[in-house]
Amino acid sequence: MSDVIPSPNYGDRNKGLAPDMIVLHYTGMPDAEGAIARLCSDGTDVSAHYIVLEDGRIVQTVPESKRAWHAGSSFWAGEDDVNSCSIGIEIINRGHDWGYPDYPARQIAAVTALCRGILLRRDMPTHRVLGHSDVAPSRKKDPGEKFPWHLLASSGVGHWVHPAPIVSGEGLRTGADGDQVKALQQALARYGYGIEVTGVYDVPTTEVVTAFQRHFRPERVDGVADLSTLETLEALLVSLPRSETARTG
């Protein structure tokens, strides 16, 4: 069961889209009260469908049938109106600007249960549970490298492979160019990230690689596409449903 605190910040889903993904956020504010007030106050132009508190309580603020304003300018797997095709979940956590504490176990259990319920009720693909940083890598860091994606995946929420081990080696980094960079960009785009295939390891490529690492290889988040990053990305692509790789390819 969820408590309900209605937010005035929502609209209709565009183009008749129904939600087929979940986007997870952290609130990134000093306290829960301020975060809830911001998400539920007229004029702030931000909202989410659910807020998950540190003690595991869940607050619903926007009906799932409506378009909440949580993702902003974003992109995933060909869709640039992520708000219209997603359900947004805000997780109370101060975030990188306010000390970035660990997520409590009760909170993660509640997020997992909430996501499982949504996936089952709406028959969503389980791998389409993403972070805000995945759909907006140039702007966002949340829910960040401390978020335990592996625990959610062990309960059937999201997509995960065990990250390839980090080994010594240079890797691809800002300023590199050539076929290896092009292949990396193509692979990230096939997975769903919004990235232009230029063959140049530019700032946007670094931002996307950083977002990928926050989610899938959190042990080292540096924007360098080392062998661990490349092998983890390849393993994720191999384990995606064939229809999904065909759709994003």
**8 A C-beta contact, residue 153 and residue 159:** yes
Work out the burial of residue 63: count CB atoms within 10 Å of its CB; fewer than 13 is exposed, 13-18 middle, 19 or more buried. Answer: exposed
What is the arrangement of strands in the sheet containing 86-91, beginning at the earlier edge strand? Answer: 3-4, 58-60, 50-52, 86-91, 21-26, 129-131
**8 A C-beta contact, residue 131 and residue 24:** yes
Cis peptide preceding 143, ω within 30 of 0: yes
Return the active site residues.
90
Assign residue 100 a region (left: φ > 0; alpha: ψ between -120 and 50; beta: otherwise). left
Q: Which residue has the tokens 């759709």?
A: 247
